């Protein structure tokens, strides 16, 4: 039954009925809904009996006739008796998707999903047979007269309720939310009962929409369901309609949410009953999740595989669920000829240990047992899964660079959707090239091997990449972005940091930002010392001041008193804070200072923890994190949280955690309310570090940052590129690769004939024997020997940096565009061998600042800025294109560590090793860091996960070096403790270099 649009008298034009009526009229006029009278609603069953029967008879007449034959005169009663049992026991969602049965073997369908294509007319007719109906002012209870403004039905089953407000009356969607909480108790009401009743409940006015899937009286939580407006929260204006018109009317950007196509897709493909954590939750996609999946797959369906999609989704976007929806729907995506677009979806993470939340989420969406393969084991398992044609695979990118995957063949006719969790510069390195080569290899015999290697790095017709990140770097934009109207690469889909903040999914960590400046006067007791006037000397003088007990003591007092005054009582006394320091020694001394000040003041309700890796010698005493805290490293996150695995609190509660690198990224503690920063933060590092505070938690409404090292402007500058859409000033000039090539060719060390000779042996051989590798190394050594003869250390270092720049830039360029230039690939693999053989770079002589050289004469810290550092709409800035890929020298912390290692070895073994002897181990570091897999492991995993793998590689390379040095081999191989000191030292330098080079590329 369809009604005509109603008109309103002048005095009723500003009532909520006007908005209500407009929605219903649009659904009837444009989306094929029938309006039903509210008295057709059966309060006992919580559905529209007449429409349910009409749907079954219209789409499944034979089954209904069988029912009537089995239950003459009682067919309808038997049908609804069994339907009610199914709804109560299994819930609305499962009954809609799976239907229910009545003996003898009568299967009734309650919904028909949209077919993959229009080639099967029977499936199309079944889908078109779904009946969309709407009622207004539905009195849903037998106990009172409360009425829901609008109820939407699918085949007579209620699937959504809407409470509507008109802002012209002074009421908004917030009042509708309050109405649900106070006046819509679900107890005993079939329409409102979780799982049993409507799947989603909307609160709305003309401009905003929010929704919930579970009514819990005053505890009901609503989430925004808005499209976003100009990069922030809200909805854009729609000409001639309300801003919420996307719900009920098709728009240029997409079809109506309540329309047949989207609405039935939501019921059949998106809404999900999550039982993964032991508690049942109904997941209804937020608008950006639904929009991202639908738009991305629509483009893939139209254009086929071979395209890239960059999804810039902020923290708080629900990325794991979006990835799960995308993966499950990608493998069921078909073109107009009903042929699948993708055979397999591979979800890639850079973490060595698969992200447990991600794999649990994807697996929980699984409807067919065995559909999802989680490759947490070896690369052999990954190879087997690909060869077996697994539909959804979750794995780490590192597994593609192994020997097993190198032997994978015959998959170039298969089509892959590669979904990348946390895309960044790793997708421009060797690991990504190995992955692509594995999934495009046609056979073991290839005519043009060099060009095959090169082509494997670039775009592939059988692979589409779907890359998710909150903070795309220039490399990520160039690699996965799409060229926008201004000619620069942009994200395919955007859910910005600004929108996430404005919608309340993350907190604005810059809302309360206070900066301090330290002022000190040092008296130099050794006059005219030239070492103190060098750049390194100046850095060490500054470090001397920052580590001075007076400096730390004054800052500790500020931190403790600020925490107690402003933070401690947040979250009912459960608030936590993090102190970010610049080195392990700073972290330990801060922790000692906090511990001492807290004890001195008698603050028995406050305790601090410290986090750092490895052994640390300070003031003649060796410290470890475990020794300082009194429990193992693995226990720290749980102890800091304060809750045991069984849900009970620990006897001792800790409020403050002091860190140095460790836990600055990837640490998720929603109770963090404050951060105290005594470290210089730049660019993306600043965003990632301060983002530890942005997690939401019940009762958490504000955060605090006290910063002793950075200005407000520094931090705003760091956040600006990622606040809204991340964009580049201009595209990177990819032809820079030829400039680098020309500079390398001009080097006296490079002989083009040798490069050709090397390439012939390397590429034609493919699986190189030991003898072949020796012959190739002999070719490369000729260039190394020319460097040694020249005896020009500066020229050697300059060449090394130029070679590394070429290698990194080439790895990037070759993935962005098909190059079809074998000379570039040949030069790349030649340099890959050559840089390993070049002599170690010289490290500046160590400068040690002591109290005999400097004395702190005066010191004070002063508050310099206080207030909000938050960004506003339109304050985002563009990033610069890629111009170079650099490397870094030793840091002063590493110099200090190296000195300690040299002394330890000499003391233990009576040897006279010098720091230069140990610097030869830098050759070991360089050798293993040329493995891009290891670099990405270091970038994307906690230290304790990566260090065992690093230690294995370091030991192997070190043993090879020791074949030429029996004395050092004897000392290192017989002294486990000293050996561990060396490995820890070189791991820290490797990790620091990897992170700094990644920062340079950003």
- Same-fold call for 285-495 versus 513-723: yes
- Percent of the chain predicted with pLDDT > 70: 79
DSSP string, 460-511: -TTEEEEEEESS--HHHHHHH-EE-TTSSEE-SEEE-HHHHHHTTSS--TTS
pLDDT tens for 102-115 read 999 999 999 999 99
Torsion (CA) 761, 763, 764, 769 in degrees, nearest 10: 60
d(CA 664, CA 700): 20
Burial class of 421 by CB neighbour count within 10 A (0 to 12, 13 to 18, 19+): buried
Indicate left, alpha or beta for 39 from its phi (over 0: left) and psi (-120 to 50: alpha).
alpha
* Per-residue pLDDT at 842: 55
Tell me which of 384 and 765 has the higher pLDDT: 384
Average pLDDT over residues 431-459: 60
Stretch (H or E) spanning 88 = helix 75-90
Read off the DSSP letter of residue 209.
Answer: E
Beta bridge partners of 707: 515, 677
Q: What's the CATH number of domain 285-495, 3.40.50.300, 3.65.10.10, 2.60.40.10, 3.10.20.30?
A: 3.40.50.300
pLDDT tens for 122-165 read 999 999 999 999 999 999 999 999 999 999 999 999 999 999 99
* Per-residue pLDDT at 443: 42
Q: Is the C-alpha dihedral spanning 238, 241, 246, 250 positive or negative?
A: negative
Tell me which of 369 and 492 has the higher pLDDT: 492
Residues contacting residue 39 through CB under 8 Å, at least 6 positions apart: none
Residues contacting residue 360 through CB under 8 Å, at least 6 positions apart: 276
Site of tokens 């012959």:
775
d(CA 412, CA 645): 47
* Per-residue pLDDT at 424: 58
Q: State the chain's mean pLDDT as an integer.
A: 84
d(CA 855, CA 452): 64
Tell me which of 671 and 852 has the higher pLDDT: 671
**Worst-scoring range by mean pLDDT, 767-781, 798-812, 855-869?**
855-869
d(CA 50, CA 156): 7
pLDDT tens for 228-243 read 999 899 999 999 999 9
Asked if pLDDT for residue 446 goes beyond 50, the answer is no
Task: Yes or no: say if 353 and 945 are a contact pair by the CB < 8 Å rule.
Answer: yes
pLDDT tens for 874-886 read 888 888 887 655 4
* pTM for this predicted structure: 0.81
User: Up-side HSE of residue 864: CA atoms within 13 Å toward CB?
Assistant: 14
Task: Yes or no: say if 941 and 353 are a contact pair by the CB < 8 Å rule.
Answer: yes
- Percent of the chain predicted with pLDDT > 90: 50
| Residue 396: other Cβ atoms inside 10 A | 24
* Per-residue pLDDT at 181: 97
pLDDT tens for 74-99 read 999 999 999 999 999 999 999 999 99
pLDDT tens for 891-901 read 445 555 555 56
Work out the end-to-end distance of the chain between its first and last CA atoms, rounded to an integer number of angstroms.
Answer: 61
Here the tokens at position 701 are 């409404």
Evaluate whether the domain defined by 513-723 bears CATH number 3.40.50.300. yes
pLDDT tens for 694-721 read 999 999 999 999 999 999 999 999 999 9
Task: Yes or no: say if 704 and 566 are a contact pair by the CB < 8 Å rule.
Answer: yes
pLDDT tens for 555-578 read 999 999 999 999 999 999 999 999
Domain definitions of the chain by residue range: 10-262, 285-495, 513-723, 736-837, 892-1001
- Cα diameter, the chain: 111
């Amino acid at each position: 039954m369809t009604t005509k649009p109603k008109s309103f008298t002048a005095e009723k034009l500003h009532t909520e009925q006007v908005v209500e009526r407009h929605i219903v009229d649009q659904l009837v006029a444009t989306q094929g809904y029938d309006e039903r009278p509210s008295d057709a609603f059966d309060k006992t069953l919580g559905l529209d009996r007449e429409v349910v029967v009409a749907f079954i008879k219209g789409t499944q007449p034979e089954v209904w006739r069988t029912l009537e034959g089995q239950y003459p005169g009682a067919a309808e009663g038997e049908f609804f008796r069994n339907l009610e049992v199914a709804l109560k026991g299994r819930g609305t969602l499962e009954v809609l998707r799976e239907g229910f049965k009545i003996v003898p073997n009568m299967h009734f369908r309650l919904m028909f999903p949209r077919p993959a294509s229009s080639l099967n007319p029977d499936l199309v007719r079944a889908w078109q047979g779904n009946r969309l109906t709407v009622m207004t002012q539905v009195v849903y209870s037998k106990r009172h007269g409360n009425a829901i403004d609008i109820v939407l039905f699918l085949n007579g089953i209620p699937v959504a309720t809407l409470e509507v407000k008109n802002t012209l009356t002074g009421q908004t969607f917030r009042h509708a939310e309050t109405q649900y909480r106070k006046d819509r108790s679900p107890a005993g009401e079939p329409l409102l009962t979780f799982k049993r009743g409507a799947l989603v409940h909307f609160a709305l006015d003309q401009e905003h929409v929010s929704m919930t899937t579970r009514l819990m009286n005053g505890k009901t939580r609503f989430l925004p369901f808005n499209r976003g407006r100009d990069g922030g929260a809200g909805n854009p204006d729609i000409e001639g309609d309300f801003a919420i018109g996307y719900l009920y009317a098709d728009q240029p950007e997409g079809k109506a949410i309540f329309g047949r196509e989207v609405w039935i897709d939501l019921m059949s493909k998106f809404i999900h009953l999550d039982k993964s954590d032991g508690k049942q939750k109904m997941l209804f996609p937020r608008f950006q999740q639904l929009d991202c999946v639908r738009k991305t797959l629509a483009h893939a369906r139209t254009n086929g595989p071979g395209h890239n999609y960059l999804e810039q989704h902020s923290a708080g976007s629900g990325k794991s669920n979006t990835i799960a929806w995308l993966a499950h729907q990608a493998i069921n995506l078909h073109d107009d000829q009903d042929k699948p677009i993708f055979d397999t979806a591979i979800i890639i993470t850079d973490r060595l240990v698969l992200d447990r939340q991600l794999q649990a989420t994807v697996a929980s969406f699984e409807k067919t047992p065995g559909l999802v393969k989680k490759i947490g084991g070896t690369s052999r398992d990954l190879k087997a899964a690909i060869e077996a044609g697994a539909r959804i695979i979750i794995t780490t990118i590192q597994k593609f660079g192994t020997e097993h995957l190198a032997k994978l063949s015959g998959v170039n006719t298969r089509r892959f959707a590669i979904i990348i969790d946390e895309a960044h510069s790793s997708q421009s390195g060797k690991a990504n090239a190995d992955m692509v080569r594995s999934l495009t290899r046609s056979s073991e015999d290839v005519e043009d091997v060099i060009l095959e290697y090169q082509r494997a790095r670039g775009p592939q017709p059988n692979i589409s990449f779907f890359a998710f990140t909150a903070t795309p770097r220039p490399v990520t934009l160039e690699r996965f972005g799409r060229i926008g109207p201004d000619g620069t690469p942009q994200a395919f889909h955007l859910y910005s940091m600004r929108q996430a903040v404005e919608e309340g999914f993350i907190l604005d960590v810059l809302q309360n930002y206070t900066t301090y400046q330290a002022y000190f006067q040092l008296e130099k007791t050794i006059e005219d010392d030239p070492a103190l006037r060098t750049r390194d000397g100046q850095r060490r003088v500054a470090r001397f001041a920052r580590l001075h007990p007076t400096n730390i003591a004054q800052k500790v007092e500020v931190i403790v008193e600020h925490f107690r005054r402003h933070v401690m009582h947040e979250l009912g006394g459960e608030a936590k804070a993090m102190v970010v320091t610049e080195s392990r020694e700073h972290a330990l001394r801060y922790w000692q200072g906090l511990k001492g000040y807290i004890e001195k003041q008698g603050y028995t309700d406050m305790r601090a923890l410290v986090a750092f890796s490895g052994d640390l010698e300070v003031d003649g005493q060796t410290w470890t994190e475990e020794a300082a805290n009194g429990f193992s490293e693995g226990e720290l996150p749980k102890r800091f949280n304060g809750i045991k695995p069984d849900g009970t609190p620990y006897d001792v509660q800790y409020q403050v955690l002091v860190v140095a690198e460790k836990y600055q990224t990837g640490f998720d503690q929603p109770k963090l309310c404050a951060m105290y920063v005594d470290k210089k933060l730049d660019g993306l590092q600043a965003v990632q570090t301060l983002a530890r505070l942005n997690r939401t938690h019940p009762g958490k409404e504000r955060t605090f940052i006290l910063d002793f090292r950075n200005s407000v402007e520094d931090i705003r500058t760091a956040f600006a590129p990622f606040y809204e859409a991340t964009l580049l000033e201009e595209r990177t000039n990819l032809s820079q690769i030829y400039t680098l090539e020309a500079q390398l060719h001009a080097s006296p060390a490079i002989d083009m004939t040798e490069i050709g000779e090397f390439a012939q042996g390397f590429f034609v051989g493919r699986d190189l024997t030991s003898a072949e590798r020796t012959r190739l190394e002999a070719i490369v050594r000729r260039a190394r020997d020319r460097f040694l003869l020249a005896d020009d250390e500066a020229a050697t270092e300059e060449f090394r940096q130029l070679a590394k720049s070429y290698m990194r830039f080439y790895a990037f360029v070759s993935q962005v565009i098909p190059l079809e230039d074998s000379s570039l690939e040949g030069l790349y693999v030649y340099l890959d061998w050559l840089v390993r053989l070049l002599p170690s770079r010289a490290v500046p002589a160590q400068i040690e600042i002591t109290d005999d050289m400097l004395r702190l004469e005066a010191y004070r810290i002063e508050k310099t800025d206080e207030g909000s550092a938050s960004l506003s709409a339109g304050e985002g800035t563009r990033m610069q294109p890629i111009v170079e890929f650099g490397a870094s020298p030793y840091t002063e912390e590493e110099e200090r560590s190296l000195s300690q290692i040299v002394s330890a070895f000499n003391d233990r073994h009576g040897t006279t090793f010098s720091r230069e002897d140990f610097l030869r181990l830098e050759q070991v570091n360089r050798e293993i860091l040329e493995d891009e897999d290891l670099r990405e492991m270091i970038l994307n995993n906690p230290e304790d996960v990566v260090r065992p793998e690093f230690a294995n590689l370091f030991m192997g390379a070190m043993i090879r070096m020791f074949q030429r040095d029996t004395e050092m081999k004897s000392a290192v191989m017989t002294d486990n403790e000293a050996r561990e000191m060396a490995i820890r030292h070189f791991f820290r330098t490797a990790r620091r270099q990897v992170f700094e080079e990644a920062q340079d590329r950003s």
